[in-house]
Amino acid sequence: MESRYRYRYSAAIVYNNFPWPLYAEGFEQNKALAGVQQAQEAIEKEAQAVLDVRAQFAASSLADLYDPLTMPPALLKAHQRLDAAVDKAHQLAGGPRAYANDAARVAFLFTLYQRITSLLPAAGAAGKKPRRA
């Protein structure tokens, strides 16, 4: 498969691109900022905890660490705490206390993303003339 068709992951294009609750509608600005700041700090703390646990298994590949049958219990617990911190942040934007399943979580993220992007100006071709061949 050519590299242009492969998925690519990095902190710049995946981790930092999830919708953030600050932009949700109906927030009191000061209350929202305080809540979002606390949520962000909690997420950063739990994300670092995941990295710290993974560092304890430096000789293991990611495939080994994330094998559902052999995942270290400490890593699973660290991810569960990170998930809980993220879910709590979603509540700031009107998300549920708990998601029924991963599909419900993804649906909420898409709804939040749609709300955020609907505030962006349309990137139209106004003023541009078509090229002549």
CB 56 within 8 Å of CB 45: no
The verdict on pTM exceeding 0.85 is no
* Predicted local distance difference test score (pLDDT) of residue 100: 92
Confidence band, pLDDT 50/70/90 cuts, at residue 1: very low
Confidence band, pLDDT 50/70/90 cuts, at residue 113: confident
* Predicted local distance difference test score (pLDDT) of residue 106: 87
**Measured between alpha carbons, how far is residue 116 from residues 19, 88, 131 in Å?**
8, 19, 33
Q: How buried is residue 89: exposed, middle or buried, by Cβ count under 10 Å (0-12/13-18/19+)?
A: buried
Find where tokens 């955020």 sit: 116
* Predicted local distance difference test score (pLDDT) of residue 65: 96
Q: Which residue did the predictor score with more confidence, 115 or 47?
A: 47
Pick from 52-61, 71-80, 110-119: least confident: 110-119
Over the stretch 12-42, which tens digit does the pLDDT of each residue have? 555 556 666 654 555 555 556 677 788 889 9
Q: With H, G, I as helix, E, B as strand and everything else as coil, classify residue 54.
A: helix
Check residue 69 and report its DSSP letter.
T
Over the stretch 98-111, which tens digit does the pLDDT of each residue have? 899 989 988 988 88
Residue ranges per domain, the chain?
27-114
CB 94 within 8 Å of CB 22: no
Phi/psi for 114 (5° steps) reads -65, -40
